[in-house]
């Protein structure tokens, strides 16, 4: 690499020198962390992931316009403004990078023009292969592999274990699945890729963070370069895909986010998995099969397991059940985005021979669920003495599945489910929303009597007095109910918890979370 653009050695020194001031120069390239959508970071011991950034225009001592040089850059790509807060502790850009603090701000500030692009091509000739026929340039392979990680090699200690990629497992279902899966399979290493949106919380995984067979990477499943890096760095041998935007109300207000994450994110994962695992359609790479033939036993090949929802089926009458043969009829942007992702998974199975399975689950409940969901909302509002909102007449019916039972079902399908099959996972616990709120309030009346906090609950005879009916939401499906016969008969799955036992465990977990004593 030309010395003019080789900031690598300087960078390594400056990472250990917090006294230096900003020395970024216009026209130079620096390797730096540039945010969750362009670069990426991991949490762990001294791990820092970097991207080359071209300093396109220096604005001041503490700010500049930079162009993240990802694997492909072209006319119309974004450039970013980078700003650094000026204070005694953070005058050095590189010391901030080392400490992962929030004092560096990067935000999209425009698009690369045609003339800008011509100038950039000249500046990055030593880093990039110019590919004008594709309208851009591609980071040279040796740079792609060499310059991203410092401090220590980001590999698992046990090289003989299979490396499984889990997505979105800082959320509710995934954060219950990870400790269960780690404990049950000592021959697996788990990589957790999660963007940590409002629904993801690393506090849900504190029992796993020091496990040598677990790594967390903060990042977006839509970031193809990141996903490719993870597959290559860890030689991923299986995927269990939880990551999704899942709140129906939010999908009505902002459907675009759901399409981006649930549809485009799933496509990115599938396409990278296909290219990493397979030489061509219906032929897995020899190292994943042990043979050169295209006809292999499904249990020797990496598998892509897609987690979906019963909401893709639409709404039910009073007596029918959703089966794996029920036609899709999604009624909200959320369920439509999940139905779309299911179809993309199917297409990669049928077109390319990718080893896939899909599970569609009913409503989950249990520990670690986000406060916005129905059951946590009922508990939280009741304990605070606030109105408990119930949509419409409260007679909408859902089939409730305890989260650990769901995790066991996923485990079973991932390991023993038939390739190209769909399996419904349901708890056979149909309840109206009114029945749910009534059951929770009855248990709270016993465990946290109203007289324990008279200032909050004065004038109430029961937590049920807080129930308040509110305007129904748009597109509110009347009834969901799953027939899990296929999973039960073919694979031997059975839910361990009924609703009466599961809801008690759930309430007790939330009472501990909210520091409420129980009788």
Classify 476 as helix, strand or coil: coil
DSSP β-ladder status, 422-425 and 356-361: parallel
Q: What is the dihedral of CA 169, 174, 177, 178, to 10 degrees?
A: 10
Cβ(125)–Cβ(5) below 8 Å:
no
Of 135, 158, 159, 21, residue with least CA distance to 77: 135
288 vs 270: CA distance, rounded Å: 17
Q: Is the CB of residue 40 less than 8 Å from the CB of residue 49? A: yes
Strand partners of residue 102: none
* Residue from 477, 480, 483, 478 nearest 426 by CA: 483
Check if the beta carbon of residue 365 is closer than 8 Å to that of residue 375. Answer: yes
Of residues 334, 414, 423, 463, which has the active-site annotation?
Answer: 334
Tracing tokens 């942007």 back to the chain, one arrives at: 333
DSSP conformation class of 301: S
86, containing H or E segment: none
Q: What are phi and psi of 200, to 5 degrees?
A: -100, 140
For tokens 């269990």, the residue is 240
According to DSSP, residue 204 is labeled G
Tokens of 160: 């003989």
Q: How many angstroms separate the CA atoms of 439 and 451, rounded?
A: 20
Clarify whether 334 is annotated catalytic.
Answer: yes
Neighbour-count burial of 292, counting CB atoms closer than 10 A to its CB (0-12 exposed, 13-18 middle, 19+ buried): exposed
167 touches 194 (CB < 8 A): yes
Tell me the three state secondary structure of residue 281.
coil
Q: How far is 380 from 390, CA to CA, in rounded Å?
A: 14
Eight-class DSSP state of 391 = E
Active site residue 311: yes
For the chain, report the end-to-end CA distance as a whole number of angstroms: 69
**316/266 Cα distance (integer angstroms):** 27
Alpha carbon of 121 to those of 68, 111, 124, 127, 133: distances in Å? Answer: 13, 16, 5, 10, 14
Of 194, 220, 310, 411, the active-site residue reads 310
Q: Which of 41, 311, 483, 497 is catalytic?
A: 311
Q: In this structure, is the dihedral angle defined by the CA atoms of residues 311, 312, 317 and 323, taken in order, positive or negative?
A: negative
Residues taking part in catalysis: 310-311, 334
């Amino acid at each position: 690499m030309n010395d003019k653009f080789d900031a690598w050695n300087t960078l390594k020194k400056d990472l250990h020198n917090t006294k230096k001031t900003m020395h970024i120069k216009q026209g130079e390239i620096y390797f730096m962390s540039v945010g969750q959508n362009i670069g990426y970071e991991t949490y762990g011991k001294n791990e820092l992931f970097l991207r080359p950034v071209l300093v396109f225009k220096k604005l001041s001592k503490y700010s500049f316009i930079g162009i993240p040089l990802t694997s492909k850059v072209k006319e119309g790509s974004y450039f970013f403004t980078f700003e650094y807060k000026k204070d005694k502790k953070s005058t050095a850009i590189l010391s901030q990078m080392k400490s992962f603090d929030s004092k560096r701000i990067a935000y999209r500030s425009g698009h690369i023009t045609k003339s800008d692009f011509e100038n950039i091509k000249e500046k990055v000739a030593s880093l990039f292969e110019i590919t004008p026929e594709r309208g851009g340039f591609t980071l040279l392979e040796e740079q792609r592999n060499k310059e991203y990680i410092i401090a220590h090699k980001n590999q698992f200690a046990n090289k003989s274990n299979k490396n499984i990629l889990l997505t979105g497992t800082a959320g509710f279902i995934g954060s219950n699945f990870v400790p269960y899966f780690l404990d049950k399979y000592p021959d697996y290493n788990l990589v957790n890729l999660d963007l940590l949106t409002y629904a993801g919380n690393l506090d849900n995984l504190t029992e796993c963070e020091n496990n040598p067979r677990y790594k967390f990477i903060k990042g977006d499943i839509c970031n193809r370069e990141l996903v490719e890096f993870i597959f290559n760095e860890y030689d991923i041998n299986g995927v269990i895909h939880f990551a999704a935007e899942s709140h129906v109300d939010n999908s009505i207000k902002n459907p675009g986010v759901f399409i981006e994450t649930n549809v485009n994110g799933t496509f990115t994962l599938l396409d990278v998995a296909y290219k990493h695992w397979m030489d061509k359609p219906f032929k897995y790479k020899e190292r994943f099969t042990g043979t050169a033939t295209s006809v292999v036993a499904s249990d020797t090949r990496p598998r892509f397991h897609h987690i979906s929802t019963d909401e893709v089926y639409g709404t039910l009458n009073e007596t029918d059940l959703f089966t794996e043969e029920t036609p899709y009829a999604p009624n909200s942007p959320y369920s439509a985005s999940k139905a779309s992702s299911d179809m993309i998974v199917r297409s990669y199975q049928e077109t390319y021979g990718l080893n896939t399975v899909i599970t569609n689950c009913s409503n989950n409940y249990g520990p670690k669920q986000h406060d916005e969901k129905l059951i946590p909302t009922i508990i939280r509002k009741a304990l605070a003495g606030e109105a408990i909102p119930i949509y419409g007449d409260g007679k909408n019916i859902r089939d409730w599945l305890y989260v650990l039972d769901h995790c066991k079902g996923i485990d079973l399908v991932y390991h023993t489910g038939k390739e190209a099959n769909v399996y419904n996972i349901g708890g056979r616990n149909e309840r109206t929303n009114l029945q749910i709120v009534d059951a929770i309030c009855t248990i709270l009346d016993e465990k946290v009597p109203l007289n324990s906090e008279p200032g909050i609950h004065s004038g109430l005879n029961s937590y049920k007095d807080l129930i308040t009916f509110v305007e129904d939401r748009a597109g509110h499906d009347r009834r969901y109910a799953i027939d899990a016969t296929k999973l039960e008969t073919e694979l031997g799955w059975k839910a361990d918890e009924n609703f009466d036992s599961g809801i008690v465990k759930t309430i007790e977990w939330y009472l501990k979370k909210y520091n409420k004593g129980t009788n």
